[in-house]
Amino acid sequence: MLRYLNQCSRGRGAWLLMAFTAFALELVALYFQHVMLLKPCVLCIYERCALFGIMGAGLVGAIAPTTPLRYGAIALWIYSAWEGLRLAYEHTMIQLHPSPFAVCPFAAKFPTWLPLDKWLPQVFVASGDCSVRQWEFLTLEMPQWLMGIFAAYLLVAVLVLIAQPLKPKRRDLFGR
């Protein structure tokens, strides 16, 4: 399996698939916000940023899958998946155990050199409360689903990283 993951990481298809899944999740988030009129909280916005990081890692990996740039894409992938998992866990704990002492900030804080909330307010401006449960599917809230999604991204990313030193298996027609 590790050799297969190594082989996949050296091709564009798997990287583009990862970028596409993150893009699809971003579209779902925008559907929830603008069509179903759910209000994203600050942690929701940060979780979106983590998904954009995974999408970016997929695009970087697809640009140069056979060069050392692939390791940068894997590093971005692991960092974004870890941060997304951490944020989704924090969000879940706020929803499951509401407390006046554990609240999320009023507005997302982006660096001055990257004011995403000013550039794209339709995507990056928070208007909801982190403790409010707005959506549920199969008894799980949205941050609980995101915990599973980010955990899956992280697990695959770590396995791909472990597989990097292995030589890809050659598959010849005549089995040489």
Tens-level pLDDT at each residue, the chain (176 residues): 777 676 667 777 888 989 999 999 999 988 888 888 888 888 888 898 999 999 999 999 888 877 888 888 889 999 999 999 999 998 888 877 777 776 777 777 777 887 777 787 777 777 767 667 676 768 767 888 889 999 999 998 888 887 777 675 665 555 44
Kind and range of the H or E run holding 137: strand 136-137
In 3D space, the residue among 112, 109, 138, 136 whose CA is nearest the CA of residue 124 turns out to be 109
Give the CA radius of gyration of the chain: 18
Angle at the Cα of 141 (from 156 to 89), degrees rounded to 5?
55
CA 98 to chain centre: 25
pLDDT for 80: 94
CATH class of 1-98+122-164: mainly alpha
> Catalytic positions, please?
41, 44, 48, 104, 130
Burial 134-147 (b: 16+ CB within 10 A, else e): beeeeeebbbbbbb
pLDDT for 30: 86
CA 140 to chain centre: 18
User: Is this structure's pTM higher than 0.85?
Assistant: no
Cα–Cα dist 1/28, whole Å: 31
pLDDT for 172: 52
In 3D space, the residue among 67, 51, 44 whose CA is nearest the CA of residue 126 turns out to be 44
